[in-house]
Amino acid sequence: MALAYLSGFCRKLKFLNLCGCVQAATDRALKAIGFNCNQLQSLNLGWCDHVGDEGVKSLAYGCPDLRALDLCGCLLITDESVIALAKNCLHLRSLDLYYCQNITDRAMYSLAQSRVKKKHETWDSSKTKYEDVGLTNLNISQCTALTPPAVQALCDSFPALHTCPGRHSLIISGCLNLTSVHCACAVQAHRAASVLPHLAH
């Protein structure tokens, strides 16, 4: 209740950390934030296990400029939350879904499709080209329902997501069925290695 009340007076809020604030971070509070704080860019809801799809969808609809969202340990959320984010938050760069075990391939394909949507955005003749970076950090550790084709499609859509050593920005630990997923630079390195023996002849 306090957070919902406060959001009405902080309409220019851009950054908010509610990690572990279980009692404060409820769907009702998130609906108020989505309604009042449309300039919000970064929100940490880690381990707020009362957060569900209704709250996250309200954020997605009301905060289109969201760049970073941490939902780790939010066990109630499903694909519906991620789909809403993919459709409405086209500036999203960092998404943490650690241990969100209700997330399935539908969510991954929706995120991958958001890249296609961005490529069809029109140019603003008076400004620079529409920013087209997309996701640069994604944590799907312990999301054990995901399959390699869906995560690979996401990786292919967002070249900034890396699985290679030293550049881990796609974190898949605890998902043993995703070991075949590789980022673009890992694939290029494999191709280069296969070409070298032929050049030696």
* pTM of the entire predicted model: 0.87
Domain that holds residue 56: 2-200
pLDDT score for 187:
57
pLDDT score for 122:
40
pLDDT, tens digit, 9 for 90 and up, residues 38-78:
999 999 999 999 999 999 999 999 999 999 999 999 999 99
Cβ–Cβ under 8 Å, residues 19 and 45: yes
The yes-or-no verdict on residue 130 having pLDDT over 50 is no
The yes-or-no verdict on residue 117 having pLDDT over 80 is no
Give the CATH number, domain containing residue 124.
Answer: 3.80.10.10
Residue 28's φ and ψ, nearest 5 degrees, are -60, -45
- Mean pLDDT score across all residues of the chain: 88
**Of 45 and 128, more confident:** 45
Tally of domains in the chain:
1
